[in-house]
Structure 1
Amino acid sequence: MQPPARPPLRGGRPRALAAAAALVALTPISACAVANSDDTGTTGGGEGTLRIVLAQEPPTLDPCDASLTATGAVVRSNISEPLIERDPTSGELEPLLATEWHRTDPTTWRLDLRSGVTFHDGQPFTAEDAAFSIDRAVHSDVACNVDGYVFGGTELDVQTDGAAALTVTTAEPDPVLPLRLSFIEVVPRTTSTDAKVRTPVGTGPYAIDKWETGVSIALRRNDSYWGDAPAYPRARYVWRSEPSVRAAMIDNGEAELSAALNPEDATEDNSVAYPNNETTALRLDGTQPPLDDIRVRKAIGMVIDQGAIADVLFAGLADPAAQLVPDGVVGHNADLRAAPPDFTAARALVADAADDGVPTGKRISLIARNGQFPRVSETAEALQYQMARLGLNVRIQMTDSAAHLEYQLRPFPKGAGPVALLIMHGNQTGDGAFTTSQYLLSDGPQSTFGTAALDERIAAAGALSGDRRQDAFAAVFAAQNDDVAQYVHLAHMRGLLGRSADVRYEPNSATGDELRLADVRPAHRKGS
């Protein structure tokens, strides 16, 4: 995937948003000075400490939760490492703690492991540790995030074969098992299986030095690391919820890298754009009238102006979407494209539904999360306006993270009525199976409804590999649009990474989920 062209940043004047622009106040937020931003590193190239400012404090540093964005940004491939890693640009699987892997029969995979690797505490890495890490992530009572997201309750039989090999067997053939294993971070077999750990031990290029709750997380370089040594001997994470504050910390030399800047705070000097795997969409609850009528759901999709939303509200840092996965993910359907709004045809569909007794005037709750993405409230207002032009009665409800999560995951709140939920989906795996199992299956944890026919197509696609897998999942996404219409897709997003001129680092589609510190170099160093 080629990097996107850089859109205009601070001071740019995007095109008008047609009728929806009348509702949207696009007031720039100026960067502000940062108080109490403790600086423990050096400036002018960061020879001592690499300083990173995150949007929030990680809820956990347990490696089995590394698929959580806030945790993975610190832990994944910094503190701990997986057996196999996926190249975020090519999508190819590459060796890490496993050097080779192959299928020995339809349900069994053998992995040969790297020798000469030690954990931060000096213990040697062996097949027993690899087997333990898989069992802990998938089978224990620790409630690891990777279990539900990647494995979905799948039972695995893991056996060691000496100190440097193991076999993993599944009940049914699983052509993407190596991809699933790439989400399991390896920990020593002495790690607790009763609770999540606060100070994880791994094999990565950095080790935990100190986590001062509410203040910072400090890492130190692992001088016994088996791979190339990172440039910085120390790293320090702090967190600031306001994007303007994070931008000011880059501008003022208080941080070298920052998560997620807003377009109005970004300049050519303090940021770089990158594809961040996130797709925004409206999830329509098809179990409640009037959204239980496919004509109403399709009509909503026909009036949303994805192009204008991407251009103005997302400041050009997005591409109009017609499916839940972007280009580069197995199953992305290149034939699905966002169409211009067609109010005439959409109003006819709603009128037909009303003539058949569908209560099209019943109030719909459009629920979004504060801080979900830049200009989220203005986006909700634009969607409300466009839906109202169909005669639909839409009320916006802005929530915090906890309340939004109640609507996002099963079991959904009872008695909420018809809900249009503004969601963001990031496919970290690069394979459509992990989107469809969560968002499109009838009983998927983030799906409100579905059809038996679509469920069968998803199951059949998951058993395939290669081009057949790509084509089957592409057909699933087309069928969602034609036969189910649970989602009104908005945009495939691009992020803005705050980056000081003192460092060299090129973000990729995985950067938002795993910020690899070993890839960061001082800008002035020869050969960097």
Structure 2
Amino acid sequence: MTSSVLSKWTCLLLAAAMTTAVASPAAAGKDDDTLNIAWEASIPTLDFYFLSIDEGYSVAQSVCDALVFRDPATQEIKPLLASAWEWSAPKQLDMTLRSDVKFHDGESFDADDVVYTLKWASDPATGVSGQYMVDWIAGVEKLGPDRIRITTKDDNKAVLDQLAAGVPIYPEHYHGKVGTEGFSRQPICSGPYKVESAEAGSSITLVRNEDYFEGSPKGKPAVGKVVIRSVQDANTRIAELMTGKIDWIYQLTADQAEKMKSLPGIRIEQVLGTRIAYLMFNPVNPPENSPVKDPKVRQAIAHAIDRDSLVNHLVRGVSVRLDTFCQPVMTGCIDKVFDYPYDVEAARKLLAEAGYAEGFDLDIFAYRDRHVTEALIGDLQKVGIRANLNYMQYSSLDENWKQGRLPIAHQTWAGHGLMDAGNHLSSHYLAPDSITTDERIKDLVREGNAGATQEARDEAYGKALALLAEGAYWVPLYIVTDSFAMSDQLTFAPSTDGIVRFYTAQWN
């Protein structure tokens, strides 16, 4: 740790010591039943179909309900807005809906809302961010006031996963009238919390939905109000937790978590989640004359990264090295397909064969874990690649990626609560901004998605993953340690899938 970082920590510790007698962490939050949290991310819209970050999905899970719910503890799919369902034909899902649900404005939920939402979201002209969540929908029809039928384009085995994770149901009478712009200013859904106020990209205030229906697997919230702020500086977030201004933060580095363990009134929790970290290349639509178009350059970069040192000495926590392109606990994720050991000489040789014996300049982009990106840049420098860091909010990184302005990015992915490798592979290789034009990979992902048995799906995904490794489209790095810091007056079980479920929090 550098001396400047140490001095910042010293100041924070002194500040905490001086204020302990005045305000213990989160005392104000418990006293007025307000959970104050801060995270780095900025949420630009509250029309949740146009968000692709976990923080957006987290707010959506608390404000909106979907047709079904995946229990994060058991991974079981449970009824939510739909009380029952059956496959009436191979590509035909019939669902019975609850009749006791009301939206936040008091209007009743029924089949018209489901038909409207799914037709609107799955229309390519709508342009939702998570296309792979809805592009399997061929049609939706109303069978009665509380019954609907969804027709799929193929025999998709992950339909219920997708409906649970990223398909909130909107009220037709409201969203159909105000559109995305109006909905983003004042969302109305049926979830356990209502949006009381929001400032785009800055803050969101949620209040408990006192009329939330009985029997929801989410349960009724114990905390009355949640205030979420975007605070981009990590040291500021830590200082506010230490002085009691906020009650909960996450995405701590190993050094931060270790130092905070000794602070009074603060509890640290760490879990090995579903989030994976990786370098991703853009060989399909990169800036003009980008070296990453050449597979030998990508393979050289793969050999240049000392992944073991990264995990053991920098990332630490409970993280482990990743050797595939998905989280191994996901259904259909085949492990140990990436075999590029750390080898500086092999990297230099591949660069020379590609015509870059003297190395080259490269812009590398990232939106979180700056210290990790800086370590990656150090490894690249050892083989002659002079990398320059461009650090930005995820929304900017995502837009620039799609526009072909980024050759390589340090990214992470938690799957938005989806525990099926097919969703992960589809989002990266079947989407319009896919990072490969290799039709073999795309066909294998489609084959896996439609596989009649899990064995058939595993075989297809395994072949796709092997081709991805051969072309070095990614450099998988590690499975991320999710580190949380909170007031010891708060009980808030850490999630492993990147989704923060505010409705599960309670005061001690």
Superposition TM-score tier, normalisation by shorter sequence? 0.7 to 0.9
Q: CA deviation at 1:251?
A: 1.8
Corresponding residue number in structure 2 for 1:334: 335
Equivalent of 1:408, from 386, 401, 409?
401
Corresponding residue number in structure 1 for 2:369: 373
Query: Take 2:140 and 2:337, find their aligned partners in 1: how far apart are those partners?
Result: 40
- Stretch deviating more after TM superposition (206-215 or 128-137): 206-215
Query: Take 1:86 and 1:500, find their aligned partners in 2: how far apart are those partners?
Result: 28
Shift in alpha-carbon separation, 1:239–1:364, aligned structure 2, 3 A: same
Equivalent of 1:185, from 159, 168, 180?
168
Query: Take 1:156 and 1:224, find their aligned partners in 2: how far apart are those partners?
Result: 34
Shift in alpha-carbon separation, 1:213–1:176, aligned structure 2, 3 A: closer
Query: Take 1:300 and 1:258, find their aligned partners in 2: how far apart are those partners?
Result: 34
Equivalent of 1:491, from 460, 467, 478?
478
Equivalent of 1:60, from 31, 45, 48?
45
Quick one: which amino acid aligns to residue 321 of structure 1? L
Query: Take 2:396 and 2:507, find their aligned partners in 1: how far apart are those partners?
Result: 42
Runs of 4+ residues deviating >6 angstroms: none
Equivalent of 1:69, from 43, 46, 54?
54
Query: Take 2:5 and 2:154, find their aligned partners in 1: how far apart are those partners?
Result: 54
Query: Take 1:217 and 1:296, find their aligned partners in 2: how far apart are those partners?
Result: 44
Q: How many residue pairs get matched?
A: 475
Q: Give yes or no for contact 2:60–2:168 (8 Å, CA) kept in 1.
A: no
Q: Deviations over 1:208-266 (max 9, x none)?
A: 22225576422222111113432122222222111222122222222222242333333
Corresponding residue number in structure 2 for 1:116: 100
Q: Give yes or no for contact 2:93–2:150 (8 Å, CA) kept in 1.
A: yes
Q: CA deviation at 1:383?
A: 2.9
Q: CA deviation at 1:345?
A: 4.3
Q: Deviations over 1:335-394 (max 9, x none)?
A: 34666423454445445x25xxx344452414123x5214144223323234x1xxx443
Shift in alpha-carbon separation, 1:317–1:214, aligned structure 2, 3 A: same
Q: CA deviation at 1:134?
A: 1.4
Corresponding residue number in structure 1 for 2:420: 431
Corresponding residue number in structure 2 for 1:139: 123
Corresponding residue number in structure 1 for 2:272: 275
Equivalent of 1:500, from 466, 487, 491?
487
Query: Take 1:57 and 1:160, find their aligned partners in 2: how far apart are those partners?
Result: 37
**Pair 1:477-2:465 in alignment:** yes
Query: Take 1:189 and 1:295, find their aligned partners in 2: how far apart are those partners?
Result: 52
Q: CA deviation at 1:117?
A: 1.4
Q: Give yes or no for contact 2:158–2:422 (8 Å, CA) kept in 1.
A: no
Q: Deviations over 1:5-37 (max 9, x none)?
A: xxxxxxxx9xxxxxxxxxx99944527469xxx
Quick one: which amino acid aligns to residue 501 of structure 2? R
**Pair 1:206-2:193 in alignment:** yes
**Pair 1:222-2:213 in alignment:** no
Query: Take 2:83 and 2:100, find their aligned partners in 1: how far apart are those partners?
Result: 12
Q: Percent identity?
A: 21
Quick one: which amino acid aligns to residue 244 of structure 1? N
Corresponding residue number in structure 2 for 1:304: 305
Q: Give yes or no for contact 1:433–1:462 (8 Å, CA) kept in 2.
A: yes
Query: Take 2:478 and 2:4, find their aligned partners in 1: how far apart are those partners?
Result: 19
Query: Take 1:296 and 1:115, find their aligned partners in 2: how far apart are those partners?
Result: 58
Query: Take 2:122 and 2:49, find their aligned partners in 1: how far apart are those partners?
Result: 9
Which consecutive unaligned segments of at least 5 residues does structure 1 have?
1-12, 14-23, 524-528
Query: Take 1:349 and 1:494, find their aligned partners in 2: how far apart are those partners?
Result: 33
Corresponding residue number in structure 1 for 2:156: 174
Quick one: which amino acid aligns to residue 250 of structure 1? L
3-state SS of paired residue (1:460):
helix
Q: Give yes or no for contact 1:289–1:359 (8 Å, CA) kept in 2.
A: no
Kindly report which structure 2 residues correspond to 1:282-293, keeping only aligned pairs within 5 A, or say none.
282-286=279-283, 290-293=291-294
Corresponding residue number in structure 2 for 1:526: none
3-state SS of paired residue (1:230):
coil
Shift in alpha-carbon separation, 1:143–1:450, aligned structure 2, 3 A: closer
Corresponding residue number in structure 2 for 1:261: 252
Q: Deviations over 1:146-199 (max 9, x none)?
A: 3x24234x4531111212211001233322222222221112111234433121
Corresponding residue number in structure 2 for 1:98: 82
Shift in alpha-carbon separation, 1:327–1:422, aligned structure 2, 3 A: same
Shift in alpha-carbon separation, 1:25–1:322, aligned structure 2, 3 A: farther
3-state SS of paired residue (1:145):
coil
Shift in alpha-carbon separation, 1:212–1:435, aligned structure 2, 3 A: closer
Kindly report which structure 2 residues correspond to 1:327-476, keeping only aligned pairs within 5 A, or say none.
327-336=328-337, 340-350=341-351, 353=353, 358-361=355-358, 363-369=360-366, 371-386=367-382, 388=383, 392-401=384-393, 404-409=397-402, 411-413=403-405, 419-428=407-416, 429-440=418-429, 444-447=432-435, 449-464=436-451, 465-476=453-464
Query: Take 2:94 and 2:241, find their aligned partners in 1: how far apart are those partners?
Result: 46
3-state SS of paired residue (1:310):
helix
Corresponding residue number in structure 2 for 1:3: none
Query: Take 1:393 and 1:236, find their aligned partners in 2: how far apart are those partners?
Result: 44
**Pair 1:126-2:116 in alignment:** no
Corresponding residue number in structure 2 for 1:159: 141
Shift in alpha-carbon separation, 1:407–1:487, aligned structure 2, 3 A: farther
Quick one: which amino acid aligns to residue 401 of structure 2? Q
**Pair 1:232-2:242 in alignment:** no
Corresponding residue number in structure 2 for 1:243: 234
Query: Take 1:239 and 1:114, find their aligned partners in 2: how far apart are those partners?
Result: 36
Structure-1-length-normalised TM-score: 0.80
Query: Take 1:456 and 1:285, find their aligned partners in 2: how far apart are those partners?
Result: 20
Query: Take 2:53 and 2:291, find their aligned partners in 1: how far apart are those partners?
Result: 35
Q: Deviations over 1:122-144 (max 9, x none)?
A: 11211111222212322285543
Q: Give yes or no for contact 1:25–1:378 (8 Å, CA) kept in 2.
A: no
**Greater share of helix residues, 1 or 2?**
2
Q: Deviations over 1:376-432 (max 9, x none)?
A: 44223323234x1xxx443324243366335522x413xx8xx33322233222222
Q: Give yes or no for contact 2:380–2:386 (8 Å, CA) kept in 1.
A: yes
Quick one: which amino acid aligns to residue 330 of structure 1? T
Structure-2-length-normalised TM-score: 0.83
Which consecutive unaligned segments of at least 5 residues does structure 2 have?
17-23
Corresponding residue number in structure 1 for 2:28: 43
3-state SS of paired residue (1:190):
helix
